Structure 1
Amino acid sequence: MNEQRKPIYELTKVALFAAVTFLGIQAFRIPLPAAVGVPFLHFGNIFLLLGALILGGKKGAFAGAIGFAIFDLLNGYITVMPKVIILAILMSFVASKLFEHFKDQIGVTKALILATTCAFLISLTGDFLYDTATLFLVGNGLSVAMWGAFTSLLATFVNSVFGIVAVTILYPVLNPLVKKF
Structure 2
Amino acid sequence: MNFSSTDDLIIHKCRKLFLEKLKDYGISWVFFHNYSIIDQILMKIVRIKNIQSKGYQKIKEEKITDTYIDIVNYLIIILIKLEIYSTSHFHKKVSNNDVILIYNKKLKKIKNYIDCMDKTFINFSIKNVLENILFLKKKKEKILFKELEKFCFKILVQIIFLLKQNF
TM-score (norm 1): 0.35
TM-score (norm 2): 0.37
Higher-RCO chain (CA-CA 8 Å, sequence separation at least 6): 2
